Amino acid sequence: MALFYQHNINEYTKLGIWFIEEPESFFLEKVPVKREVTHPFKRLQHLAGRYLLSYLFPDFPLEEIRIADTRKPFLENEQFHFSISHCGNYAAAIVSTDNRVGVDIEQISPRIERVAPKFLGEEEASFFNDDYTLFLDQWGMRGRVFQEFLTMIWSAKEAIYKWYGLGELDFRRHMQLKGNIAIQGDWIGIPFLFDKTHPVPLSVVGRFFEEPELTLAWVCT
């Protein structure tokens, strides 16, 4: 068994990260195959994500999962809301009996600096160019810290995308970092304004893992 991390957010909502070290046959004992995933490693990630749903809530009806046109997996009767993410050998899932949820995990890498203009709005980009980042420059710290925070924002926006579930979102326009980031112990509270049809304040919760270097972000509301 390779549960890497579990956090019970409240009595209705649980989150977990699985370290994938088992063969496909292990997951297939529990997970019914509904969608043919041809690439073997992607299939393993897919199976591990599904497995984790039933690990968190043993009565999760895996065989009833449907896939929407947007590719969001869901249960018709909404007995559980859930969201899945994979990254390398890790699969994450969040499951709630009460709230809509979204989760994302990402590996921290320098590549994020090249992608950032695609998901940062103008105001957000200016936040990352202010005195704070110049201060980090002086100490030669900017590169890594910058990449960590950019990855966290990217992860947060992917979690919001999954929470919303209906697709067709512009990451620069429809979700904007708004307000102060709050750090409490290992957790980071990241306030967003989600505005697809009308403004909705959303609090994304994130945390960094050091070994492996991962960001985790989730929405539950």
Interface residues with ligand COA (CB under 6 A) are 46, 49, 70-73, 83-86, 104, 118-119, 158, 161-162, 165, 167, 169, 171
SS3 label, residue 118:
helix
Task: Give residue 76's identity as a one-letter amino acid code.
Answer: E
Quote the least distance from Cβ 139 to ligand COA, whole Å.
30
* Contact partners, residue 94, CB within 8 Å, separation at least 6: 9, 13, 14, 15, 82, 83, 101, 102, 103, 218, 220
Quote the least distance from Cβ 187 to ligand COA, whole Å.
20
Nearer to ligand COA among residue 73 and residue 206 (C-beta):
73
SS3 label, residue 138:
helix
Nearer to ligand COA among residue 111 and residue 132 (C-beta):
111
Nearer to ligand COA among residue 175 and residue 188 (C-beta):
175
The C-alpha torsion from 153 through 201 and 182 to 99, rounded to 10°, is -90
Question: What is the rounded CA–CA span in Å between residue 82 and residue 100?
Answer: 7
Nearer to ligand COA among residue 136 and residue 208 (C-beta):
208
Question: What is the rounded CA–CA span in Å between residue 52 and residue 60?
Answer: 10
Quote the least distance from Cβ 163 to ligand COA, whole Å.
8
Nearer to ligand COA among residue 43 and residue 136 (C-beta):
43
Nearer to ligand COA among residue 110 and residue 167 (C-beta):
167
Whether residue 40 is preceded by a cis peptide bond, meaning omega within 30 degrees of 0, is: no
* Contact partners, residue 127, CB within 8 Å, separation at least 6: 177
Quote the least distance from Cβ 146 to ligand COA, whole Å.
18
Quote the least distance from Cβ 147 to ligand COA, whole Å.
16
Quote the least distance from Cβ 134 to ligand COA, whole Å.
26
Question: What is the rounded CA–CA span in Å between residue 33 and residue 143?
Answer: 42
